[in-house]
Structure 1
Amino acid sequence: MSHGARRTLILLLPEWKRCLASEALDSGVLAAWCSRGQRLDGLDPGNDGILASCFEWSGESLPVAALRRQAELGDAGDSNWLCADPAHVRADMATARMLACGAMGLSDSERERFARDLGSLFGDAGFEFDAPGNERWYVRALRESELPRCGSPDEVMGDDLKLHLPSGTAGRLWRRLFNDAQILLHNHKVNAERAARGAISINSLWFWGGGFLPNRVRAHVQQLVSDRLEVRALAERAGVAWKPLLAESLAAALESATADAVVALDLVELRNRELECRWLQPVQDCLRTQQVDLLELRFASGERYRVNRWQRMKFWKPIQRLGS
């Protein structure tokens, strides 16, 4: 490696509040890095913001549905896609909150029965509903259709849903479809069967990530390790090598990284001890053994820190909890 060259590892991390809520993260390696590292200017919060720090794409908001569809099935084409993922919503006295989205132990038979009836509902409204798998569902719209702009499930989880539903006249159709889908699912026989065996109900859909495949994607990283389909699709369209989220993938990426290379490790969907023990502690070892010279932390809520190999050794600087 030439003089002054630095191998940089970027960690894409969950929202700050989710790290704060975890005892393992609040007082672990992450807290040490943030205590002894350098606070940088923040990113735009949300999934779009954290990915825009690694990629540039044509268009405005990130078209997660089209990217995910392309990575999953290869048939996104030039269609206008929207994620319509299965969700569990619980109402209280004041509002309703999403408590789960995506993976909820749905069987193929249950999915097919839901999809048949949801297909009729969306078909009557002029859209095509498709549930190719048990966790990720889609709506295909006309090219000129105005799709709702809602946050990702991770951004919405546990929050007041009224704050995240599409607003105004343009959002009226999607609020109606949201309510109609809830009524259909609430009364569906599949949910009655699931309730009888103590399984969580699929009683709502979440619309997000709408748009077309981007014509152009440019990457600011040379390698990427991620399990998210939309991130893989971005990498492929940018001509960047990606690897699945495995320890050996990170080791191989760092081993093959050239001087001044930037590697991104996508940990946004991980939580608690899995994030701390399986990933953050090994990354600390990478700093110690000089496999990584510079570490940048990018949280999905916008916070950003930089840590070099020497900052982690500031033993005189006390480690503060993330919530301090």
Structure 2
Amino acid sequence: MARATFLLPAATRFGGQQAGADVARALGRADRAQAGEEGRRAQLRRHFRLTPDHWPMAALTRQMDAGDAAASSWLRADPAYVRPDINGARLLAIGASLGLDDDDRAAFLPELRPMFGDAGFPIDAPHPSRWYLRLPQGAKLPAFAEPSEALGADLFDHLAEGSEGRRWRTLLGEAQVLLHNHPRNAQRVAQGRAPVNSLWFWGGGALPDAVASPHVALHSGDEIALALADAAGIARALPGSFGIDADDAVFDLQGARDLAVLERDWLQPACTALQRGELQNLVLDFADGRQWTLAPGQRWRFWRRPLARFDA
């Protein structure tokens, strides 16, 4: 029998929404545990093991995008939109959320190449939304915040700190000046799109020696999860609705917010597969560290009360 895992946001993201009777009954009879740390990174690390144990997302996505990451270390320098406000500047969009295309890439990159090249960090962009700096051998990097940590917050609260961070704060300021004055941004604003007026540095490091996963397939639209799947050598596809297409598959549903839709497209079909004996188990892995396991034999736990809410 096959196994399936659903990667879900924190249980609180569903608020007070309630599941229907069949799903609530199955949830009430499930095994529940606190499986690990909170956060998206911790959630992915429960399903992908990197050797050595670090988190070089720039190198992994570079390998996915261009296949040439092994020769160097890398740092993402993703296009970003920052809006000044009374207290500073707020980071409102990074990378894919800006809707960049090949014309944007062709306009912005030539302006940035001389500056970063002179600093010893050549920049290029094999994907319109994912920009990369090639790092020299032995380059020391400060701690950079991931986009999920900084998005929506004050830019200055998440900049690299200390003496090592000073150089990167200077480079960021120079890049902001170049981008702010770029005529392409006037065109984007006229088209109703946000300007690209900043960069976001993150994900630095070299490719790991190995990436392993206990699963054989991943369904996801998230670039980090897809890069991990590529490195682990497992099959990947975009998520649509539940179906058994592998012996052990992960379905990345981190964007789910509507419990009724999640129940219709994913939970109810999976519970039906459990009842038919087509699934050995279904694991619900929440980004807050909770983990629930549903299995066919739990149907005999008739004394347990239904559980209609994830955050109960």
The AA in structure 1 aligned to 2:135 is: A
Give the structure with the larger strand fraction.
Answer: 2
Match of 1:101 in 2: 94
Runs of 4+ in structure 1 displaced over 6 angstroms? 311-315
- The within-5 A match list for 1:250-269 is 250-253=243-246, 257=247, 262-268=248-254
Separation in 2, partners of 1:191, 1:62: 33
Range with bigger deviation, 40-49 or 186-195: 40-49
Q: Equivalent residue of 1:106, what SS?
A: coil
Separation in 1, partners of 2:216, 2:103: 42
Match of 2:308 in 1: 319
The AA in structure 1 aligned to 2:188 is: R
Match of 2:68 in 1: 75
Match of 1:300 in 2: 287
Match of 2:78 in 1: 85
Which of 215, 220, 224 is 2:214 aligned to?
220
1:31-61 Cα distance to aligned partner (Å, 9 max, x none): 9577664442242333432222112212343
Task: Check the 8 A contact 2:89/2:155 in 1, yes or no.
Answer: yes
Which of 7, 12, 20 is 2:7 aligned to?
12
Which of 61, 64, 69 is 2:57 aligned to?
64
Separation in 1, partners of 2:47, 2:73: 24
Q: 1:177 to 1:44 in 2, by over 3 A?
A: farther
The AA in structure 2 aligned to 1:319 is: A
Consecutive unaligned residues of structure 1, counting only runs of 5 or more, are: 2-6
Separation in 1, partners of 2:19, 2:154: 30
Separation in 1, partners of 2:210, 2:70: 14
User: How many residue pairs are counted as aligned between the two chains?
Assistant: 304
Which of 96, 102, 127 is 2:121 aligned to?
127
Q: 1:59 to 1:20 in 2, by over 3 A?
A: same
TM-score scaled to structure 1, two decimals?
Answer: 0.79
Separation in 1, partners of 2:147, 2:212: 26
Match of 1:168 in 2: 162
The AA in structure 1 aligned to 2:305 is: W
Match of 1:4 in 2: none
Match of 1:272 in 2: 257
Query: Cα RMSD over matched residues?
Result: 3.1
Separation in 2, partners of 1:58, 1:242: 20
Q: Equivalent residue of 1:48, what SS?
A: helix
Match of 2:238 in 1: 245
Q: 1:122 to 1:212 in 2, by over 3 A?
A: same
1:192-250 Cα distance to aligned partner (Å, 9 max, x none): 221223211122212111111111222232433334444344334434x3121244894
Task: Check the 8 A contact 1:80/1:210 in 2, yes or no.
Answer: yes
Which of 122, 136, 145 is 2:130 aligned to?
136
Consecutive unaligned residues of structure 2, counting only runs of 5 or more, are: none
The AA in structure 1 aligned to 2:286 is: F
- The within-5 A match list for 1:222-237 is 222-237=216-231
Match of 1:110 in 2: 104
